[in-house]
Amino acid sequence: MVFYVNSGMGKLGRYNPKNGNITQWDNPSGKNSHPYAIEYADNAIWFNESAKRPETLVRFDLNTETMQSWQIPSKEGVYSGLIRHMRMGNNGLIIHQTATNQLAEITWSK
């Protein structure tokens, strides 16, 4: 399966190359959420909604096909960090906020 974010429509999508099927889910913040960075970790797809202030981090559970979202704080005095990159690290997601030039690690409990 290939997962992608559709920034113009505010959706998370899944493409099945074996049969050509495409499935899309609305983002929690709707069509103007502009999802951007995307990563796979802990049996979930993670992405941000870059048009939200403050930005949100979204977790799409692959088993239940449901989404959870959290606001991501930025450096003091900056309204949004503008997450453009995220990667799985040793303990959780590593995100880069371009507006603040900050790295953050996001961890969770199982």
Q: What is the pLDDT of residues 52-83, one digit of tens each?
A: 777 888 999 999 999 999 887 766 655 556 67
Angle value at C-alpha 26, between 41 and 49, nearest 5 degrees = 60
Question: pTM (2 decimals)?
Answer: 0.82
| pLDDT given at position 79 | 53
Contacts 24+ apart (CB under 8 A), 82-89: 82/50, 82/55, 83/36, 83/37, 83/48, 83/50, 83/55, 83/57, 84/36, 84/37, 84/50, 85/37, 86/37, 86/38, 86/39, 86/46, 86/48, 87/39, 88/39, 88/40, 88/41
pLDDT at 49 over 70: yes
SS3 21: coil
- 69: closest CA among 55, 78, 81, 56? 56
Distance CA 37, CA 77 (A): 23
The stretch 14-34 carries a mean pLDDT of 95
The stretch 39-63 carries a mean pLDDT of 88
As a 3-state breakdown, the chain gives helix, strand, coil percent values, each rounded to 5, of 0, 50, 50
